[in-house]
Amino acid sequence: MGAVHARFPRTWRQTAIIAPLARGLRLWYRPRVHGLERVPRDQPVVYVGKHPRSWLYLETILLGLLSFWDGDRPAFRTLEKRGTSLHRVPGLAWLRRHVGAIPASETSAVAALRAGESVLVFPGGARELYGAADRIAWTGRRGFARIAAAAGAPVVPFAIGGADGQHPLRLALGRRGSLWLPPLPLPVALEYHFGAPLPPPAPGDAAAIARLAERAEATTRELLARASARRRWWRRA
């Protein structure tokens, strides 16, 4: 299985429930992976990608299986907003508690990176969760670049083609959140594309941090377009 990295909690919940679930998801989503060989094996990174229009975390769990659980790269911690309505949904709340996510703060992210773990950031957050399919919305979002600079970690842009097709319909429920339909995600084929690592700037260099954020956004947009094009070709083939 390769070198063992970091502090990711391989508890009985992880090994007996979540890892088998991820392997089942591999059959459900039939993932194709491109560029994973670019991701360093010997150091943690900051993964940045478009937030899926989904609420179940399944494509992210599968990403963990592909990148570190059955691989040899440092484990990643997903940055997530805590205390949302999703954390009160039976079953889903349990899953979110045990996938190893950490609070969405620069302090938490830098601490994880310095401890040898990667972090996964969706800069668009709710803008993309509730936004148009396959559209990136990172304007003004540079926190991930500051995290990379503070920890001296490279940024790895990635895209998951097909992730926004899992739940084609969303019913807004006001303050109570949303109802995604169908509740069980469709078995769409997922395309995982990884870009080349982008070196971190010096801490405090605002101009370099801004350039890194812009470059990562542009690369992620290109990867998403490439993944979407491959899925269209795949369906026609």
Q: What is the domain range of residue 142?
A: 32-163+173-236
Does position 47 have pLDDT exceeding 60, yes or no? yes
Residues 2-29, mean pLDDT to the nearest whole number = 81
pLDDT over 70 (residue 46): yes
Residue 111, in any domain of the structure: yes
What pLDDT is recorded for position 10?
80
- The reported pLDDT for the residue numbered 8 is 72
* Torsions phi, psi for 174 (to 5 deg): 65, -135
pLDDT tens digits, 97-114: 888 889 999 999 999 999
Main-chain dihedrals φ then ψ at residue 142, nearest 5 degrees: -125, 10
Q: What is the pLDDT of residue 232?
A: 63
Tokens of 177: 């959140």
Which of 43, 35, 25, 28 shows the shortest CA–CA distance to 151? 43
The mean pLDDT of 4-17, rounded to a whole number, is 75
Element housing 193 (H / E): strand 191-194
pLDDT at 68 over 50: yes
Q: Is the per-residue pLDDT at 237 higher than 70?
A: no
Q: Is the pLDDT of residue 225 over 80?
A: yes
13 in a structural domain: no
Q: Please check whether residue 41 lies inside any domain of the structure.
A: yes
Short-list 52, 54, 39, CA closest to 118: 39
Q: Going by C-beta distance under 8 Å and a sequence separation of 6 or more, which residues neighbour residue 64?
A: 22, 75, 76, 99
Q: Tell me the per-residue pLDDT of 151-198, one tens digit each, with 9 for 90 and over.
A: 999 999 999 999 999 999 988 877 667 788 998 999 999 999 999 999
In a domain, 137, yes or no: yes
Q: What is the DSSP letter of 14?
A: I
Tell me the per-residue pLDDT of 120-131, one tens digit each, with 9 for 90 and over.
999 999 899 999
CA distance 172 to 220: 28
Which pLDDT belongs to residue 2? Answer: 39
**Structure tokens that stand for 142 in this block:** 């540079």
Mean pLDDT rounded to a whole number for the chain: 89
Helix, strand, coil percentages (3-state) for the chain, rounded to 5, are 45, 15, 40
The pTM assigned to this predicted structure is 0.91
Domain count, the chain: 1
- Give the CA distances from residue 55 to residues 20, 79, 180, in Å, rounded to whole numbers and listed in that order: 20, 14, 8
Beta-strand relationship, 155-161 and 191-194 = antiparallel
Q: Which residue has the higher pLDDT, 10 or 78?
A: 78
User: Rounded mean pLDDT of 38-58?
Assistant: 93
**pLDDT value of residue 4:** 41
* Best CA proximity match to 215, nearest among 39, 48, 41, 33: 48
Residue 1: per-residue pLDDT: 32
Residues in the chain: 237
In a domain, 17, yes or no: no
Residues contacting 120, CB < 8 A, separation 6+: 47, 48, 49, 60, 63, 76, 77, 78, 79
Report the C-alpha gap between 51 and 135 in whole angstroms: 10
Domain assignment present for 14 = no
Asked if the structure places residue 7 within a domain, the reply is no
